[in-house]
């Protein structure tokens, strides 16, 4: 009886395995993220914010340079023996006030730079997380619709610098279809955003001929 039961279970195994065949799909999440129009839109926003911050930082830096030059001129005048003592004393006092303003502006610029970096980092993380959530939701919906058991991310590498999948069935790679779905109706906007990025990249001078 026991032997008959074992044989019966063994006979059922191929059918059971076929009925529950593993059905995976694969996606390059990094590529999907980079080619999503909302990622390009977020990049544009952050570039504009960076430019705004940079312009204000330049204004502060120019004020600091002006105060430095003013302090040096006043210090030199305060040591000019041609001038009367009371004039030189006035120059010394003015130099001290200018030096305080100079040091205060330097601290202001340092604080501003630190705040700017923190603020840009927070904005980037917030937008990045929102985009990743949208992509993950689409992947989940596609997996349910196509009856995928699991969707593997093939982007990146392991700690040893090795691709996570040495081989996979490329017919089940859904990266391009996800990108197309995410950008549906926004193809023109994506092209415009990419064109703006290309315009902002300065051309590299060709190497001189020998």
pLDDT digits (tens, 9 = 90+) for 68-103: 999 999 999 999 988 899 999 999 999 999 999 999
CA 91, CA 84: separation in Å to the nearest integer?
A: 11
CA 174, CA 172: separation in Å to the nearest integer?
A: 6
pTM of the model: 0.72
Long-range contacts of 99-108 (CB under 8 A, 24+ apart): 99/71, 101/67, 102/64, 102/67, 102/68, 102/71, 105/60, 105/63, 105/64, 105/67, 106/64, 108/60
Whether residue 65 has pLDDT greater than 60: yes
More confident residue, 2 or 189: 189
Structure confidence at residue 210 (pLDDT): 43
* C-alpha to C-alpha distances, 123 to 30, 48, 95, 104, 155, nearest whole angstrom: 19, 12, 41, 28, 24
Mean pLDDT of 116-137: 94
Are 158 and 33 a contacting pair, CB within 8 Å?
no
Mean pLDDT of 168-196: 94
Q: What is the pLDDT of residues 147-178, one digit of tens each?
A: 999 999 999 888 888 888 888 999 999 999 99
Percent of the chain with pLDDT over 90: 75
């Amino acid at each position: 009886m026991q032997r008959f039961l074992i044989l019966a279970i063994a006979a059922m195994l191929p059918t059971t395995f076929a009925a529950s065949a593993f059905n995976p799909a694969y996606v390059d999440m990094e590529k999907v993220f980079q080619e999503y129009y909302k990622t390009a839109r977020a990049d544009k926003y952050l570039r504009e914010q960076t430019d705004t911050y940079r312009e204000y930082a330049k204004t502060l830096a120019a004020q600091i340079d002006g105060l430095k030059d003013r302090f040096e001129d006043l210090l030199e005048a305060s040591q000019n023996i041609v001038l009367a003592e009371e004039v030189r004393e006035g120059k010394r006092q003015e130099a001290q006030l200018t030096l305080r303003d100079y040091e205060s502006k330097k601290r202001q610029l340092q604080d501003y730079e630190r705040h700017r970096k923190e603020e840009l980092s927070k904005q980037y993380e917030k937008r990045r997380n929102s985009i990743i959530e949208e992509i993950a939701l689409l992947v989940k919906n596609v997996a349910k619709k196509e009856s995928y058991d699991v969707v593997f991310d093939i982007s990146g590498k392991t700690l040893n610098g090795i691709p996570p999948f040495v081989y996979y069935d490329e017919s089940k790679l859904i990266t391009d279809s996800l990108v197309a779905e995410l950008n549906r109706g926004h193809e023109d906007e994506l092209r415009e955003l990419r064109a703006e990025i290309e315009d902002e990249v300065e051309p590299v001078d060709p190497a001189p001929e020998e």
